[in-house]
């Protein structure tokens, strides 16, 4: 889309390193500028475009895309697929993250320890979960469902008796 006041076919020549480099308009940065500066200028140009559109009373979606959301959806509606009627939609929307199971058969997820089956120790599993409700945390390994994880009760785990029970009341009794 041509900018107002600048012909679309205007070519400006800029001297860069002793040779003439063609540029389409004054807003195009010369090729020897660094990438960070180009990104900053692009962000600035986008912000300016939005501000000018808002000042003219143009809706934001028109300023950015030149189409309404309905028009954009109508373009791609034919290529969208529908879900089968028997699809389990809540399960499809679960978040999936890889996690390594610790030696004590726990894994950390969302700042909480979760207990998993002990035979998964040391393996990297995929955890399927709803990050809002945390009602179901599924453990998957190699694309197969293994088990549901349980919240780890740290207090109960700390009270589990150890096999190294000894009486430390008198250190001289060896």
Q: Give the pLDDT confidence score for residue 68 in this predicted structure.
A: 76
Give this prediction's pTM. Answer: 0.49
Does any domain span residue 105? yes
Does any domain span residue 104? yes
Does any domain span residue 138? yes
Does any domain span residue 152? yes
Q: Give the pLDDT confidence score for residue 139 in this predicted structure.
A: 97
Reported as a single tens digit per residue, the pLDDT across 28-72 is 555 555 788 888 888 888 888 788 887 888 777 666 667 777 888
Which range of residues forms the domain containing residue 133? 89-158
Number of domains in the chain: 1
Over the chain (174 residues), what is each successive 10-residue block's mean pLDDT?
Answer: 49 48 55 74 84 80 72 85 88 93 92 93 95 91 95 74 48 41
Q: Do 49 and 27 meet the contact criterion of CB atoms below 8 Å apart?
A: no
């Amino acid at each position: 889309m041509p900018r107002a006041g600048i012909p679309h076919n205007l070519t400006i020549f800029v001297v860069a390193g002793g040779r003439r480099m063609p540029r389409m308009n004054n807003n195009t940065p010369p090729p020897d500028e660094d990438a960070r500066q180009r990104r900053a200028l692009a962000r600035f140009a986008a912000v300016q475009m939005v501000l000018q559109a808002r000042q003219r009373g143009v809706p934001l979606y028109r300023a950015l895309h030149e189409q309404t959301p309905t028009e954009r959806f109508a373009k791609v509606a034919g290529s969208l697929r529908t879900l089968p009627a028997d699809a389990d939609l809540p399960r499809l929307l679960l978040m999936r993250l890889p996690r390594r199971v610790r030696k004590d058969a726990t894994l950390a997820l969302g700042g909480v320890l979760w207990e998993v089956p002990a035979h998964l120790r040391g393996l990297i599993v995929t955890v399927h979960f709803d990050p809002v409700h945390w009602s179901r945390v599924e453990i998957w390994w190699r694309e197969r469902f293994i088990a549901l994880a349980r919240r780890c009760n740290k207090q109960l785990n700390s009270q589990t008796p150890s096999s190294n029970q000894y009486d430390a009341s008198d250190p001289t009794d060896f």
